[in-house]
Amino acid sequence: QKLFVGDQVLRVTASSEEQITLLKELQDLEHLKLDFWREPVKTALAVDVHVPFAGLQAVKAFLESNGIQYRVMIDDVQMLLDEEKEEMFRSRD
């Protein structure tokens, strides 16, 4: 079973077309295995991206060095999954 321990979901807010372009470049970096829940399209729409733990440092460094605002929306994906699973077991009982 795949685990998501330490994975985070970042909510990224681009403030210019240049930053949107940078986010699209980030999207193309396949080795980071990013999963864009909301894709970079226009500045008015937030971008949500699921970042595996192994790539967190690289992604945050990329965003910070380019002055792109973000916040951590889900701190640990696995913790949420565990809660969800527990809730399902409970309701089944």
Is 19 exposed, middle or buried (CB count within 10 Å of its CB: 0-12, 13-18, 19+)? buried
Binding mask 40-69 for another protein (x = CB under 8 A): -xx--xx-x-x-------------------
Q: Would you count residue 11 as binding another protein (CB under 8 A)?
A: yes
**Beta strands 69-74 and 35-38, pairing class:** unpaired
Pick from 17, 18, 25, 39 the residue near another protein by CB under 8 A: 39
Pick from 5, 16, 38, 64 the residue near another protein by CB under 8 A: 38
87's tokens: 């809730």
